[in-house]
A = this chain, B = another copy of it.
Amino acid sequence: MSEQSPYIQSLKRAGYRLTQARLTVLHVLEAEHGHITSADVLAQVERINPAIGRASVFRTLELFTQLGIIRPTYISSSMTPTYVLMRGGHHHHVICTECKRFFEFDDCDLETLTGNLQATLGVQISGHLLEFYGVCADCRVGGQQS
């Protein structure tokens, strides 16, 4: 994990210290490509550095959310959120409602809509999350066992 990471830049720019807890959580998030529950972050951090406390992990996840680095989203059927990395302020995926697998995609073509909303609502928009729900090919084929 190099200190050139744009996320580390965000932290520094906002005046936050680069602590072990924060760097470790960031490392875990990047290693998982950003689809991970708090419980899993907790477990991974514990494994990498048992000296880091539970509370710091939660405080870090909250900070990263505030900074727009990650975004909690509901994916698994449990009530605990899954955090997705907001690369460049946005994130897009398709979730299979059967098997919970997800497919990320990049181009969303929302520039026009973003501009319209900024003009209409007067909100300075900094990012977005776009989720599609559906049933993937595998679940449609294999999933006839009702």
Contact = CB atoms under 8 A, between A and B. Distances in A.
Interface in A94-146: 94, 96-97, 103, 105, 108-110, 112-114, 117-118, 121-137, 140
Contacts of A79: 38, 72, 81
Instruction: Give how many copies assemble into the complex.
Output: 2
Interface residues of A, number: 44
A117 B112 CA distance: 20
Given A108-B113, A126-B97, A133 B81 contact: no
Interface of A: 38, 62, 65-66, 68, 71-74, 77, 79, 81, 89, 94, 96-97, 103, 105, 108-110, 112-114, 117-118, 121-137, 140
